[in-house]
Structures are given as C-alpha cells and as structure tokens.
Amino acid sequence: MKTTQATEQADFAELALSHKKWLKSVLGLGALEAKIWVTSSAQLLALIGGIVFLLITAWLLLIASAAALAWSYGFSLVSILLMATLVTLLSAAGLMYVARNTLKQMNFTRTLDALIPNDQDSSENA
C-alpha cells in the first residue's frame, strides 16, 4: 500500500513538473512574442512619424507648386484651396489604410497556435 502511494506521489510530482515546464515554455513564447510586438510597435511609430513629416513637407511643396501654377492660369483662390484640401484628405485616407493594414499584421497567432492548434495543423502533423 505504501509503495503504491509513494509511486502515485512520484507520478504526480513528475506530472506537475512536466506541466510546469510546459507552462514555462508557453509563457516564454508569449513573452518573446510580446517583445517582438513592442519592438515592431516602436518601429512602426518611428516610421509613421518620419512618413508624416516627409509627407507634410512634400505635400506643402506640391500644393504650393500646384497653387502657383493654377493661379498663373487664372483659377480663383477659393477653388485652389478647395482642391488642396481634397488632395490632403485623400492622402490622409491612404496613410490610414496603410497603417490599418500594418496593425492587422501585428497579432499573437503564433502563441495561440502553440496553445490551441488548428484542425489543419493537427491533420498536417499526422
């Protein structure tokens, strides 16, 4: 009776240890993915800041050039300003589209797949 109980305790200790190792590896994977996500976020923020600065500069120069050209052809100032506003809004919409696509690509699917594999992943490994 005592040997059976000792064996069960040893088996339980091994089971607990294996579960601790598994949990540690999963949490390590989550921590690694979080580090990658934070680094990617910082890079994305820096890139967006640089893009915004350069685009503002470029658009101001382009709008000023187009306005000067339109003024020389006799367009009214109001129509020039309305066209400049429209072009600026369209460019902002384009930037929002690019940023939204980048954010969609930043996810935790690798950790989720490690925890709960898809049916496709299970059938491919079999």
119 within some domain? no
123 within some domain? no
Q: Is the pTM of this model over 0.85?
A: no
- Domain count within the chain: 1
Averaged pLDDT of the chain:
82
Closest by CA position to 66, among listed 92, 88, 50: 88
Between 57 and 111, the higher pLDDT residue: 57
d(CA 99, CA 48): 8
Rounded to 10 degrees, the C-alpha dihedral 26/32/36/41 comes to 80
Full domain range(s) for residue 35: 2-114
The percentage of residues in the chain with a pLDDT greater than 70, rounded to a whole number, is 87
pLDDT in tens, 40-93: 899 999 999 998 899 789 878 988 898 899 999 999 989 988 988 888 899 889
pLDDT at 124 over 70: no
124 within some domain? no
Q: What is the pLDDT of residue 108?
A: 66
65 within some domain? yes
pLDDT band for position 32 (50/70/90)? confident
Q: What is the pLDDT of residue 73?
A: 94
pLDDT band for position 123 (50/70/90)? low
pLDDT at 1 over 70: no
User: Mean per-residue pLDDT for 94-120?
Assistant: 78
Tokens representing 54 are 């350069």
Q: Are the C-beta atoms of 29 and 110 separated by less than 8 Å? A: yes
61 within some domain? yes
